[in-house]
Every structure is written in C-alpha cells, then in structure tokens.
Chains A and B, each alone.
Chain A
Amino acid sequence: MNLGISALKYVEEIKNGSFTVEEFISNTIEQIKKHDGKLHAYLSIIEKTIEQAKNLDRKIRNKEKIGTCYGMPVSIKDNICVKGAKTTCASKMLENFVAPYDATVVSKLKSEDAILLGKVNLDEFAMGMTTEFSAFGPTRNPWNVDYVPGGSSGGSAVSVRAYECIASLGSDTGGSVRNPASFCSVVGFKPTYGLISRYGLISYANSIEQIGPITRTVEDAAFLLNIISGIDPNDDTTIDNKNEDYLLNIDAGVEGKKIGIIKEMVSQGTDKAVVSATNDSVKKFENLGATIEEISLDMVDYSVASYYTITSTEAGSNLARYDNLRYGFDFPLEGYEFNSYISKARKNFGPEVTRRLIVGGFVPSAGYAGKYFLKALKVKKKLTDEINEAFKKVDFLIAPTVPILPFKIGEKIDDPVALFLIDFNTVTANLTGKPAISVPFAISNNLPIGIQLIADSMQDKSLLQAGYALQQTVKLPEVPI
C-alpha cells in the first residue's frame, strides 16, 4: 500500500473503495513499528485507533454522513492538548500530565473524523530548532538518521515524511513548523497570527506563536487549514476569516505577481547550496510570469535578538505555572517549604529551557527592562512597519527557510548564538504576524532545502497559491527509508 499519498488522494481512494480506513490505519501503524524505533518521532501512541477506523468503515458502508477527513491518520505535536492523552511537551515536568480537554484544533479534526494516531516529539516546551532538547531523546532525520530533523516540531515533520501519518499539527513560534519542514522536505505552514485558535496549545511565547499544519503537499496544508482555522470564542486573539476556502483555486498561479527577495536573508552565512536553490526558485517564479525585485528589511538584522528577548520573557512567565502542585510528576511534598519545593521541582526542566528561563528572568526585570525588553518591542514594531511597506510594493517575499543545510545531531548543541542564527530567516514572520510557508524545493547531498514564502496579513489563501505554484515546478526524490 502506498502510504506516501497526499491527504486529498487518500480521501479520493477511500471514497473509491480502493482501500478501507482500517487497512490504511493498520499499515500506518506497521510503518511506525518498523521505523519509529530508529526515528523516534512518536512519544505516545493513542489507543483504539483501529476501532475508530472500523467504526468509520462501517459508516461509509452504510452511506452515513462522515467528516471530510475520512479517517486519515494525523499526528499531533505533544504540546497540543488531546483529551485523555498524555501531553508532556517533551518535558519531565509534565511527564504524567494527561490533558482533561481537547485543544480547539483537535476538536475540529475529531469532528471531521480525522484519526489521531499519536503525540509526536518536540524540543522541550517548543524551545529549540533541532528537537535535540526533548527530554525523551532526539528525533532523527529520515534523510540521514545521524542528522537533525529541525525543530521544534521535529516529530511532526518526520512522522509526515516517513509516512507514519498523512499530516501533522505542529506549532511555530520562531520557525518551528517551517524549519523542520525544510530540513525534512515537507510542507510547513504558519498562518497569520490569530487565524488558528491557540486554545489547548501549551504556551511558550503566546504573543507570536501559532499552530500550523505540516503536510506532504501544499494542497493538503490548505485542506487542513479549512478545518482548523477560524474565530474561536475560547481564544480572544483569534480573528474572523469569514470561512475562507483555502483550497479553492489553489492552482490560480502567480502570473503578474511581484515577488521580493529579502536581501538580508540571503547574505553571508547562507550555505552555497542554499543560495543556489534560492536563485533557482526565483527563476522558476519568473518562468511562471512573476516579476522579481530585491527588498531590504534592515530590521531583520536585529530580529533574532528581538525575538529571543521577547520570547524568553514570555516563556519565563508562561512556564511559571509548572510548580508541580496541581499537575506534573511524582515528587512528595513532605519536609519541604513552598519555595524550596518548587525550586527543586523546577530542576526537572531540561538545560535549554532552564537557560531560557534564566534569560527570561533577567531581561524584563526591573533594572533591565528598558535596556532590553522595550528595545526588543520597538524593533518588533519597526520591523512590522518595514514589512508592511514592502507589501505595498510586492505580493510575496521569498527567502530560504533556513540559511544552512541540516547538520549532525550534537554538532551545534553547545553554541547558543549559533543555534539562534538558524532561526534568522524565520522569526520575522512570527514577530510581524505574517503568514509564511516552507515548500520543499531541492535536495543537496541527500539533504533537503526548503524555500520560504511570506505574504501580508490575512493573505494566507494567495500565499498557498504561490506555494502551490512553486511546488509544481519541482519533482523531488523519494526519502530513502
């Protein structure tokens, strides 16, 4: 059975009766058993999915109404709440936490009859770009298992690339959906801020993060976006997208569109192969009838500093609730007083999270707030103004998703600033709230390169159209598993 089909193809085949839901789910579970021991994308498998599949098959046979997902297997990043399932954020702090409610995006998928196969790995509390900071071991890149899959949604990207599910939901704070998508050669989409409800997403940096779909095709991302987007009364930061249909006319093309290359994102420090791929993608767009120009956003040079200042501050606050009193892990209270107990309990955070919490306590604190935090907010505002100006001239912005190729596990883990710079091209979209997509474009020495497109706020539909157009210009090799 070809597990590598797209979501849309899956739905078509189920409707045709080419195979049953149960067959597909069983085969997918076999695939997980076969490969995940090595790849380690999944942290936990959800029970009774075969029963769910059988139930859906019965409904299909009886011609009963069924949701648009037709039982397709989906994996969920383990920082998104699934009722009754462990939701650990890849952290020992939440080792035993079972979510008592569904995230809005999960409810929506369930009501469309998607089958949630399991929770997938991430950098602890979504802080990282390589999935090496998971408390439960790294996830490996299926293109080369000695290499990082990117992060923080590494489990999502790998489970999709290795056919361990059809699609996944990840979260993107500074590139965490686009970066692993690029490193694993799948599609990663970060919507306009507010398009997808964050209710049930365990917060890291709530003012800029979004849930985003990771899929094998751009159309699949649009298909999922139709299901999970929209205003949610449970999340006051969501905006009304008036039930936009993101799949409709996805092949509209880019004839006459103007595309701007972000100068600062293809500068020194960008890998030669990545530069070359970027130039190719630009040529492809020209061939499709778009015009290209160079755009300079000079605040981009300060975006990483601004990003880490803001996110460490928010993380410091969002992670304060993890004091092991109401939920967490086993650690008896006897003999401790309050402050010493929680300080000891919070030693259970991994080293990267601890580092960021220390910075997050430092940066906004009374003496330094003006020096770092306020400046970071001003950079964020100025960057937003610059990108808004750019969108008066162009329809899309283009840049490589990650300036470098995937690297070996353990290679960069000790250099915090080097790690920061992996996010150099992606944090801009988060800071400014703009939608962005990473489309798999090239393979160099068996290592994937993704191209990133950014559009103006609420232009998610046209962004998907541009992404689709780019996708259709390349035929990439199969992943060697």
Chain B
Amino acid sequence: MEYLVTREEIEKVAKLMRIELDDHTVHIDRVQKMIDYFDILDKAGIESTEFDVHEKSINELREDKHIPYDDVLVKKLKNFKGNYIRAPKMV
C-alpha cells in the first residue's frame, strides 16, 4: 500500500467536485481500494512519453459562418427569470 488516502483528502476532493457527502468513510475505503489497484500501473514498464493523438488538418475545420440556432432554446431550460437563467447568490 504505497499511498494512504486520508479523510482530509476525501473532503478536499468532494469539495473540488462540488459533491456533498454524507459519509466520508465509505469513500475513504473505496478510493483506497481503487488507488491500490491503480498502483499496478507502476509495474507496467512504460518508457515512451508520447500519447495517442487523433489528428485533423486545419483545412477540415468548420467555416466561420453565423448560423442562428433555429429554436428558442432559453424557454426549454429551467430557472429563467425573463430571459435570464437564475443562479444562486455568489459569495
């Protein structure tokens, strides 16, 4: 077990991912199990530094045209006041 997952870290990550957790201990345990499993990657013997890439030429990209969207999208979303989307107050 190379790396020990702490409650503090779970709290930090939950905050980072904006998920309120009821029970941190459940996650400490599970994340620890998964991280331990991921440690197997250390044995993989990978030297190369390149990643796989999908490539496309600049000439195949979208032309710069203004095409208005043909639907009144905002009416299909929620929380709208007038035409605005509502968000909670910012601190």
Contact = CB atoms under 8 A, between A and B. Distances in A.
A and B touch in the complex (CB under 8 A): yes
A379 B48 CA distance: 9
Interface of B: 3, 5, 9-10, 13-22, 27, 30-31, 33-35, 37-38, 40-44, 46, 48-52, 54, 56, 61-62, 71, 73, 76-79, 85-91
A101 B87 CA distance: 24
A20 to B, nearest CB: 34
Contacts of B90: 337-338
Interface of A: 96, 98, 100-101, 193-194, 233, 236-237, 299, 301-302, 304-306, 308-309, 316, 320, 323, 325-328, 333, 336-344, 346-347, 349, 354-355, 357-363, 365, 371-372, 375-382, 384, 416-417, 420, 433
Contacts of A342: 18, 88
B59 to A, nearest CB: 13
A326 B79 contact: yes
A433 to B, nearest CB: 8
Given A306-B41, A416-B33, A100 B71 contact: yes
17 contacts: A101-B71, A304-B37, A305-B41, A308-B38, A325-B78, A326-B85, A327-B77, A333-B88, A338-B91, A339-B18, A354-B19, A358-B30, A361-B17, A363-B38, A372-B41, A379-B46, A380-B51
Contacts of B9: 362
Contacts, number: 152
B34 A381 contact: no
Contacts of A237: 54
A362 B20 contact: no
Main secondary structure of the interface of B (DSSP, over half): mixed
Nearest to B51: A377
Nearest to A234: B62
Scoring B9, B17, B22, B49 by chain A CB atoms within 10 A of each residue's CB, the highest score goes to: B17
Nearest to B29: A416
Contact of A355 (B3, B30, B41): B30
Contact of B44 (A308, A340, A375, A433): A375
A381 B37 CA distance: 20
B10 A381 contact: no
Contacts of A357: 17, 19
Contacts of A328: 78
B19 A358 contact: yes
Contact of B35 (A306, A337, A360, A362): A362
Nearest to B10: A358
Given A193-B54, A381-B50, 9 more contacts: A98-B76, A100-B76, A305-B41, A327-B77, A327-B78, A333-B87, A338-B91, A362-B35, A380-B51
Nearest to B45: A382
Contacts of A305: 37-38, 40-41
Contact of A343 (B19, B46, B71): B19
Nearest to B76: A100
A104 to B, nearest CB: 15
B44 A299 contact: yes
